[in-house]
A and B are shown apart, each in its own frame.
Chain A
């Protein structure tokens, strides 16, 4: 099974650390990348266990089109993060690179489990596996105060949200006596009036809201994004967020659809999504630290993704998945450039980008395209994703006659326009900032170049040839059911 291979790979990496001489540790990462590549190819070709759809462990573990989609997404993200970590390795503490790699793989295993979880126990275990590895990953630069501070913040808030979630799960179990999503769906309608049951569902959503950094549980994101080592930030922005979304989809549409498809609940999602978009975009405007800016922008993007959830329809779910697929490559491209450019700087201030187009045209173009794609401008990935999300929400507005959806779509529109301002601010820093201090060219290793080209190809592919990915997301959304 995919998960077991990944965990095994993580353990092997830790062991390999003992036997490989220090100067060749970088290659451990490349070995791990190669192994993950093999796993990705098997999962894509439909061979092996993940091609067979079904459930295991008494229905706790489910393999369907949705889990397959997310697993592929997670593995792609992990491969890119490992490349990034290899570039970043000289900034990590002496001799701890292999440990960093294996922690990434353990987090990946948690995400793979999350993609397949069909039971609240499984949900909690996978979330904890992800979160606990991230506590370590965030504070991995032990000598850097900011990194430790970020780790502590993430730990405290993460633990708090986990406890909410456990409490919620306990309440659900206490009222219904079921933990399995499928079985719960069958009995949930009987408890539609039970306040305790609804409170339980809400508390679970609090825990998941923390993972995806949705308002009002977004407060940790900018600090942690800023303080954490850049590869961790990238993985947090994609892996952790996507894991939160797959669990959110499962809980809302598989476990408690009777609660989800109500007018009040739709309005709740509309409000959360709208405020998240506005909060993230407005707070990003004054930011000067690039990672912090992306932290706020990731909050805004959680809001956009929530549009797809709020639409409460198959097309909304499909749009969400599509947007996530584009988001992976875009954000990875952005963080890759940050890793490479800011390697030797103390802070990640935007002014550090000055003169980048002369230092390395490839990196300048990559970061520009990433920003443009995040802003949602054609022909890049972000545009088609936003187009699908808007379409899903307007569709919901027309079918349900809930005017809240129209307000939501206009809120999102305002958010997009605000975001143009700060994304273009970054582009301006690259191309026409005054008297850059440092004009030395940036050396790129060939693996770094390879992964940057891969990200760029992904951004264009998803933007220009939507058919393949759209078919995958449609299948995945169909697997989820209403």
Chain B
């Protein structure tokens, strides 16, 4: 049994176990959920440490045939692309389980759904089989709808539930059609992703088929990831969702579509990817600039965070669109960094909501006096969101900009401006209005988080900082496998040949120059920079 099976199996097993626990044993229910997510987080850390960078093929593999006549099997394994994502997902899931103390009604059902969601999403990232990849994602997606519908807050709950259900179902089904079409078109007669890729090396898909399938995947996954202009479900949905759900969805589940594009669409549909790269790049300007502006106008903290998280997706799309090693590496880095960040901000806003009963920015103020720990954490999260060096987000965003510069200089300039200026404006403004200034009298009774409740926030902050200062931990793993993906995405193409396939050491040195020129005191980004310091 692969360690991956345990990582995704424990939460699912615990969910099954909870079905048989009577509903009034609240402490036991909570303990089981926290313990199961803790085990899978610890196992994920162990796997992350044992992972051998640049090894050939997948590690910790396991394959069990499921439907032989269709070539479907339960096949899990990790390479550099998903090892970090699984680590991030498992840690966020543990933090979400810890943050679930805010749920006071129907706890049993909530924890069951939370665990199913955790197992499903970790499984989707680990899966190397197209069918299970989709199947497990859907397994994780449906609990989201129920959780928002039952435990959601605010007057717009019903509307938001139906909106997010219908919107995301359309996206998932479009992606499903794309995946089925891909399976049939590949002619490999298997759902196994490595085998399809191997098959496609000798028998590439016809260009017109690629041009048909790629948009299905792009827009199907794009809806799931809130690609502009299909993002309108996200801010409202997150604004209404209970915070553990928002943490898991915005942090982890949403990365599924991006991961699918990198893992499946780029290597298998290279020509289409090249011809659609410009479209993606321009759409992500919509994310970064337009949604950034929308975020500036928000009066509700959760809507602001929701919009800013949509805006961040733009950087990842930009990295994917750049179709070169630096860009794709950066995209994966942001996926991981943003997972921690989104989970952290939603967890913090959940704490504030629980304490004050409102997230209207105008009603809050001066909270740092009463909630020093929460306030500081929120400040750090906001700084990470603006891309301050030292946090993992900076590493990813800077990398993406270096990658994208070669392909789309104009868009990169716009995106940089969006990231630094717009992001800076709405984040600092929110911080000023929420944490500083006079403290309204009604908030005099607020209490800061106790030690136990500080744990999830601290955990997520530490993760952001660790990967911010030691990005080498991730880049050394991501680089070799991103290299393979990019090589496949580029080798049959001629149109976008300007983008060079750079070798790994060259990449890091390019990044090192750039980063030290830009933020020499940060000591943040590049692998060999860190190595020199040692």
Contacts and interface: CB of A to CB of B under 8 A. Distances in A.
Contacts of A431: 150
B180 A390 contact: yes
B443 interface: no
Q: Indicate the member of A410, A428, A474 with the most B CB atoms within 10 Å.
A: A428
Contacts of A474: 69
A24 to B, nearest CB: 37
A54 interface: no
B380 interface: no
B471 interface: no
Contact of A377 (B66, B138, B150): B138
Given A379-B139, A394-B180, A467 B166 contact: no
B169 A398 contact: no
Contacts of A421: 162, 165-166
Contacts of B165: 420-421, 424
A149 interface: no
B67 interface: yes
Given A378-B135, A379-B135, A413-B173, A428 B149 contact: yes
Q: Indicate the member of A390, A416, A417 with the most B CB atoms within 10 Å.
A: A417
Contact of A470 (B69, B139, B169, B170): B69
Contact of B169 (A390, A391, A420): A420
Interface string A404-417: 00000110010011
A42 to B, nearest CB: 27
B452 to A, nearest CB: 31
Nearest to A375: B169
Contacts of B181: 394, 398
Contact of B177 (A413, A432, A466): A413
Contacts of B139: 378-379
A312 B135 CA distance: 27
Contacts of A387: 131, 176, 180
Contact of A416 (B149, B150, B169): B169
Q: Indicate the member of A391, A395, A421 with the most B CB atoms within 10 Å.
A: A391
A383 interface: yes
B173 A416 contact: yes
B464 to A, nearest CB: 33
A432 B150 contact: yes
A471 B69 contact: yes
B138 A394 contact: no
Interface string B64-103: 0011111000000000000000000000000000000000
B512 interface: no
A377 B173 CA distance: 11
A471 B69 CA distance: 8
Interface string A74-103: 000000000000000000000000000000
Contacts of B138: 377-378, 383
A391 B131 CA distance: 12
Chain B, interface SS category: helix
A191 to B, nearest CB: 35
B507 to A, nearest CB: 39
A466 B67 contact: yes
A409 B150 contact: no
A206 B158 CA distance: 42
Contacts of A378: 135, 138-139
Contacts of A398: 181, 184-185, 209
Interface string B113-148: 000000000000000000100010011001001000
Interface string A216-239: 000000000000000000000000
B174 interface: yes
A290 to B, nearest CB: 20
Contacts of A417: 166, 169-170, 173
A378 B184 CA distance: 21
Given A379-B135, A420-B169, A421-B162, A413 B184 contact: no
B177 A470 contact: no
A454 to B, nearest CB: 19
A410 B162 CA distance: 20
Contact of A467 (B68, B131, B173): B68
Contacts of B176: 387, 390
Nearest to A377: B142
A432 B105 CA distance: 12
Contact of B184 (A372, A377, A395, A416): A395
A431 B165 CA distance: 17
Nearest to A410: B177
Q: Indicate the member of B165, B174, B181, B209 with the most A CB atoms within 10 Å.
A: B181
A286 B150 CA distance: 22
Nearest to A396: B184
B13 to A, nearest CB: 15
Contacts of B69: 467, 470-471, 474
Q: Indicate the member of B69, B142, B162, B170 with the most A CB atoms within 10 Å.
A: B69
A372 B166 CA distance: 14
A432 B149 contact: yes
A409 B135 contact: no
A470 B184 contact: no
A143 to B, nearest CB: 40
A418 B405 CA distance: 43
B177 A394 contact: yes
Nearest to B142: A377
Contacts of A390: 176-177, 180
B349 to A, nearest CB: 24
Contacts of B209: 398
B213 to A, nearest CB: 10
Interface string A424-467: 10001001100000000000000000000000000000000011
Contacts of A420: 165-166, 169
B508 to A, nearest CB: 41
A391 B67 CA distance: 15
Nearest to A398: B184
Interface in A372-395: 372, 377-379, 383, 387, 390-391, 394-395
A400 B131 CA distance: 24
B166 A413 contact: no
A413 B142 CA distance: 17
Q: Indicate the member of A378, A390, A467 with the most B CB atoms within 10 Å.
A: A378
Contacts of B145: 424
A428 B159 CA distance: 13
Interface in B167-194: 169-170, 173-174, 176-177, 180-181, 183-185
A474 B149 CA distance: 40
Contacts of A428: 149
A391 B184 contact: yes
A351 B131 CA distance: 38
Given A391-B183, A416-B169, A424-B165, 6 more contacts: A378-B139, A391-B180, A410-B177, A417-B173, A432-B150, A467-B69
Interface of B: 66-70, 131, 135, 138-139, 142, 145, 149-150, 162, 165-166, 169-170, 173-174, 176-177, 180-181, 183-185, 209
9 contacts: A378-B139, A379-B139, A398-B184, A417-B166, A417-B169, A424-B162, A428-B149, A432-B150, A467-B66
